[in-house]
């Protein structure tokens, strides 16, 4: 058992319950609240409270928000959603870290300085508030292949990954990674974390159901990491939902349910690529569709419990154990 920071204060890891492993209360870009007409906080709060109520009614206990500052994190949104906890009843864990377009601040500073910033958001609170980050986000995507030029994205991504590892060890919180699964970017990330002496059980390699390559996914789990099957959009065609569910079923059948987590990568109120429609049903795909599909296709209750509950909890406990 360990303590987890939520936007309503600390919670024992055992109380996380059924957890969506990768979501966004909102998303877009850093500073989006300053662009006229892009982000309305009162609307964002209402959309989130409604989405959390619907998720709670479908059996969800906790949501992990993976929106660092450069993806449009709004700490005042966390505060307002936290103030209405009695209404929705869901625990929300929020993140420090960095999204995929590494901001210029990170270009020339060393990993220890970046780690100090991550640690301050975990240990002291975000932007002078008492909202503490409970997890570290990293995002490796096509930029990983850009290794030349002034911005040298790959070297900056590696720099921030080392910073994340050092902050995770110092503060005892897990790391959750957006990755481009078809490029198998979980592998170089785990290599860096291993080099930094991190317990890989504290790491989730996300967006992993964007591939069907089970050898790659089982290889990540064999190294100790958790595989985040955290993209599940109910608007997708049925064959695609079955394909994504099939990856979860295959991981469970390979004995890795305890290292496989589920989510949507969805937001009820987002500005990524411009304002997206308000969607209070965005967190129902896993509890109302995928879990039933898994049960119907042969997953046991123990597997489903591990996928929804045990896997995420284990990342928090492995992370906390590094700090002790």
Q: Give me the residues that bind Zn ion (CB under 5 A), please.
A: 265
CB-nearer residue toward Zn ion: 210 or 265: 265
Question: Closest separation between CB of residue 67 and Zn ion, Å?
Answer: 8
**Concatenated DSSP letters for 67-133?**
--GGGT--HHHHHHHHHTHHHH--EEE-EEE--SS--GGGSSS-HHHHHHHHHHHHHT-STTSS---
Q: Taken in order 44, 118, 169, 141, is the CA torsion positive or negative?
A: positive
Closest among 163, 231, 232, 218 to 186, alpha carbons compared: 218
CB-nearer residue toward Zn ion: 2 or 226: 226
DSSP state of 35: S
With tokens 């901001």, the residue in question is: 103
Question: Closest separation between CB of residue 265 and Zn ion, Å?
Answer: 4
CB-nearer residue toward Zn ion: 169 or 264: 264
Question: Closest separation between CB of residue 272 and Zn ion, Å?
Answer: 9
CB-nearer residue toward Zn ion: 184 or 265: 265
CB-nearer residue toward Zn ion: 265 or 303: 265
CB-nearer residue toward Zn ion: 141 or 199: 141
With tokens 């409604």, the residue in question is: 50
Instruction: State how far the Cα of 200 lies from the Cα of 215, in Å rounded to an integer.
Output: 18
CB-nearer residue toward Zn ion: 50 or 265: 265
Question: Closest separation between CB of residue 66 and Zn ion, Å?
Answer: 5
Instruction: State how far the Cα of 149 lies from the Cα of 324, in Å rounded to an integer.
Output: 41
Question: Closest separation between CB of residue 55 and Zn ion, Å?
Answer: 16
Question: Closest separation between CB of residue 296 and Zn ion, Å?
Answer: 28
Residue 207 pairs in a beta bridge with none
For the beta carbon of residue 246, count every other beta carbon within 10 angstroms: 16
3-class DSSP assignment, residue 280: coil
CB-nearer residue toward Zn ion: 25 or 190: 25
Q: Give me the residue whose beta carbon is nearest to Zn ion.
A: 265
Backbone dihedral angles phi then psi of residue 122, each to the nearest 5 degrees: -85, -50
Question: Closest separation between CB of residue 185 and Zn ion, Å?
Answer: 14
Instruction: State how far the Cα of 156 lies from the Cα of 146, in Å rounded to an integer.
Output: 11
Provide CB contacts within 8 A for 207, sequence distance 6+. 22, 178, 179, 180, 181, 228, 230, 231, 265
Question: Closest separation between CB of residue 200 and Zn ion, Å?
Answer: 21
């Amino acid at each position: 058992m360990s303590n987890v920071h939520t936007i309503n204060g600390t919670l024992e890891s055992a109380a996380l319950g059924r957890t969506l492993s990768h979501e966004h209360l909102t998303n877009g870009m850093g500073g989006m609240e300053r662009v006229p007409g892009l982000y309305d906080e009162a609307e964002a709060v209402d959309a989130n409270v409604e989405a959390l109520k619907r998720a709670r009614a479908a059996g969800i206990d906790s949501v992990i928000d993976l929106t660092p500052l450069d993806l449009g994190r709004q700490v005042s949104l966390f505060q307002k959603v936290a103030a209405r906890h009695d209404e929705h009843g869901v625990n929300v864990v929020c993140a420090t870290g960095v999204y995929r377009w590494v901001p210029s601040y990170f270009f020339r500073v060393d990993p220890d300085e970046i780690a100090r910033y991550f640690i301050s958001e975990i240990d002291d609170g975000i932007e002078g508030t008492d909202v503490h980050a409970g997890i570290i986000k990293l995002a490796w995507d096509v930029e990983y292949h850009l290794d030349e030029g002034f911005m040298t994205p790959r070297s900056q991504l590696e720099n921030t990954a080392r910073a994340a590892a050092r902050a995770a060890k110092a503060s005892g919180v897990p790391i959750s990674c957006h990755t481009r699964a078809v490029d198998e970017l979980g592998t170089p990330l785990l290599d860096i974390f291993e080099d930094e002496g991190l317990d890989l059980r504290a790491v989730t390699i996300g967006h992993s159901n964007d591939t069907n390559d089970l050898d790659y996914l089982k290889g990540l789990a064999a190294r100790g990491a958790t595989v985040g099957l955290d993209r599940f959009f109910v608007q997708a065609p049925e064959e695609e939902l079955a394909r994504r569910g099939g990856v979860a079923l295959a991981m469970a059948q390979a004995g890795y349910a305890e290292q496989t987590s589920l989510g949507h990568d969805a937001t009820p109120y987002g500005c990524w690529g411009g304002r997206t429609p308000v969607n209070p049903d965005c967190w129902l795909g896993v509890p109302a569709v995928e879990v039933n599909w898994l049960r119907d296709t042969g997953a046991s209750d123990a597997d489903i419990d591990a996928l929804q509950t045990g896997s995420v909890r284990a990342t928090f406990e492995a992370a906390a154990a590094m700090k002790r």
